[in-house]
Amino acid sequence: MTSEKKSTIKLGSRELDVREGSLDAGIPDGPVEQKWESHKFKMKLVNPANKRKFNIIVVGSGLAGASAAATMAELGYNVDCYCYQDSPRRAHSVAAQGGINAAKNYPNDGDSVFRLFYDTVKGGDYRSREANVYRLAEVSNNIIDQCVAQGVPFAREYSGTLANRSFGGAQVSRTFYARGQTGQQLLLGAYQSLSRQIGLGKVKMYNRTEMLDLVVIDGHARGIVTRDMITGKIQSHVADAVVLATGGYSNAFYLSTNAKGCNATAIWRAYKKGAYFANPCFTQIHPTCIPPSGEHQSKLTLMSESLRNDGRIWVPRDVNDKRRGNDIPEKERLYYLEEKYPSFGNLVPRDVASRNAKTVVDAGHGVGEMKNGVFLDFAESIGRLGENVIRERYGNLFDMYTSITGDDPYKVPMRIFPAPHYTMGGTWVDYNLMSTVPGLFVIGEANFSDHGANRLGASALMQGLADGYFILPYTMGNYLAQAGKAKVETSHDSFKEVEASINERIHKLLNINGKRSVDSFHRELGKVVWENCGMARNEEGLKKALEKIPTIKAEFWENVNVPGEEKNINQSLEMAGRVADFFELAELMCLDALNRSESCGGHFREESKTAEGEALRDDENFAYSAAWQYNGDDKEPTLNKEPLEFKDVKLSQRSYK
């Protein structure tokens, strides 16, 4: 670790402390190709007979959480797993549609572990940690073998071999898929492994249970405090280590492709207990979602990126053209991605596709009654391949689109527009996936580690399963073998203090008795964040957001109405706690975006772009991960910089032309 440097920065009216060299990512020495294998050998081990002496808490039962809980239980650890859904099978991982990447090179089209590594670093606009990304690419092939062994029904060629298709940001076909429901099928595989361990008594499953805070004793994570969502009971749970696998925070935007229950409470509570939060402004706007149809909507629907394999994206060249898509002749159509990016065409990375959609819609080329979308057209592919082939590949997605819009995409073009979908930011973790709180591990979308400023399509499932099946089981043993902690019970004062603070917060929310609903505040917050910290950001807008958010937050705590009781099912109470955390997180998102005056990946600062309108990085000043440290509700956070080094993928301006 380099010597620490301290300074201050001024962001608007705020003055913040900055530290560089304060973080140790624990990246192993040696060539990037050898780091993980060497590290695995050097890590400490827990004797098989001793594993049953350790208790591990896993919060979240999606792909990352279910795979981690099942794998660690199979190794011999005692695992408690928590989810707020009525079953682990309802975790939001089921919503992933298009596929999962791996460097198998089955099509023999030039793929390799290094190419997947390179594409991921480049796709993230050089704002990720090389060592972590290479490890992700390295273990990707193991994931496919694991899932095939579980019986996951991946699509296959006529010969019986596993099929691949292309996704954005790559010129090879490396994406394995199960029609348009890959996430669901992968989760069923992880769930059956989890269920086996539940049946054997190695995993205790807590459904309909929400984590409300982390308990830290003597500087180490030693448990959590939860609320039973049926009875309202507040309960403490103790462990030797805690794993958070709770997903991302796109619902800070209110309208997103995330399930309504998705929230940031677990990682935000951890942040306020000492776990640094990294790159909160790195959020992904997915280019292919069904556009909003009015102010009544509470969420948006994803249309898989895989559709860009066979669908062509276009808008009318004439901004005054109000004809239906099928009535507009070919020569009067603007295939803006194909014209601007001939090498990648419609398969440019998500951030590039989204920004270009916004550009043409803002210029007046939008389609639909609200002129808030672009066309995704399958006429050419249906004519070339036949409707049956398209139905086999995307049938369930087309059915979903028809159910929502009433249009038949086999006959008319789909209408799509970008929407908040995934968050690359999250809890800062080191190479071992451990946060700045010893004993607190964070995996999957909940951490920041692998995707930089933009995640490539089909890489979320890859990261979640890589962390859960193949990385955490090693690094967890290394921590437990060296921890040497005294046993604690839930009677410890620290647990009682956390329980008291949770009860106090619940009573406060229930007793405000204001005039506005929780949802109205969430919608207002989301609009501010979307308009000022969404697809495009600028200094003026971010400063405006940093003025508005605290004002709305103050009114929330004075005028929100949370009906119902605490000792019962109370979804308004659940949402109130989550929205309260979103207020604070949204402020940090905007602060991070204001500080990072460069453009990179999904973070597009309008002041920093090339002559052609592309994102313009500032590697001299911003080649670092920003890890924010909580200092108290009334104090400014500290910015800790983790410098990023690029030895194997050289820094360059991204080009997909």
Residue whose tokens read 């009015």: 294
pLDDT at 2: 57
Tell me the per-residue pLDDT of 627-637, one tens digit each, with 9 for 90 and over. Answer: 999 999 999 99
Give the number of C-alpha atoms closer than 13 A to the C-alpha of residue 630, restricted to the C-beta side: 20
CA angle, 284 as apex, 97 and 21 as ends, to 5°? Answer: 125
Please provide the average confidence, as pLDDT, over all residues in the chain: 96
Known catalytic membership, residue 208? no
Which residues of the chain are in CATH 1.20.58.100 domains? 493-626+636-643
pLDDT at 605: 98
Domain 286-420: CATH class, spelled out: alpha beta
User: Which candidate in 350, 393, 415, 654 is catalytic?
Assistant: 350
- The architecture (CATH level 2) of 493-626+636-643 comes to Up-down Bundle (1.20)
Which residues of the chain are in CATH 3.90.700.10 domains? 286-420
Examine the pLDDT at 3 and tell me if it is beyond 80: no
DSSP 467: I
Q: What is the mean pLDDT of residues 572-599?
A: 98
Query: What contacts 186, CB < 8 A, 6 or more positions away?
Result: 63, 93, 96, 100, 147, 152, 178, 461, 465
Q: What is the mean pLDDT of residues 596-609?
A: 97
The H-assigned helical ranges of 151-282 are 182-199, 265-271
| Strand segments (E) across 229-272 | 234-238, 241-244
At 635, list the tokens. Answer: 């104090």
Give the number of C-alpha atoms closer than 13 A to the C-alpha of residue 253, restricted to the C-beta side: 28
Examine the pLDDT at 484 and tell me if it is beyond 80: no
Examine the pLDDT at 139 and tell me if it is beyond 90: yes
Q: Percentage of residues in the chain with pLDDT exceeding 90?
A: 96
Q: What is the mean pLDDT of residues 406-427?
A: 97
Query: What contacts 380, CB < 8 A, 6 or more positions away?
Result: 312
pLDDT at 50: 95
Strands 283-289 and 414-423: antiparallel
pLDDT at 301: 95
At 84, list the tokens. Answer: 């707020």
Three-state DSSP string of 36-88: HHHHHHHCCCCCHHHHCCCEEEEECCCHHHHHHHHHHHHHCCEEEEECCCCCH
pLDDT at 72: 98
Q: What is the mean pLDDT of residues 38-44?
A: 97
Examine the pLDDT at 1 and tell me if it is beyond 80: no
User: What does pTM read for this prediction?
Assistant: 0.97
Determine the Cα–Cα distance for residues 356 and 584; give it in Å rounded to an integer.
Answer: 30
- Whether 253 and 526 have beta carbons less than 8 Å apart is answered as yes
Q: pLDDT-derived band of residue 335, with 50, 70 and 90 as boundaries? A: very high
Q: What does residue 224 show for φ and ψ, rounded to 5 degrees?
A: -140, 165
Tell me the per-residue pLDDT of 517-542, one tens digit each, with 9 for 90 and over. Answer: 999 999 999 999 999 999 999 999 99
The packing angle between helices 571-595 and 518-533, to 10°, is 20
* Ramachandran region, residue 420 (left: φ > 0; alpha: ψ -120 to 50; beta: rest): beta
Tell me the per-residue pLDDT of 354-404, one tens digit each, with 9 for 90 and over. Answer: 999 999 999 999 999 999 999 999 999 999 999 999 999 999 999 999 999
Lowest mean pLDDT: which of 39-43, 235-239, 423-427, 481-485? 481-485
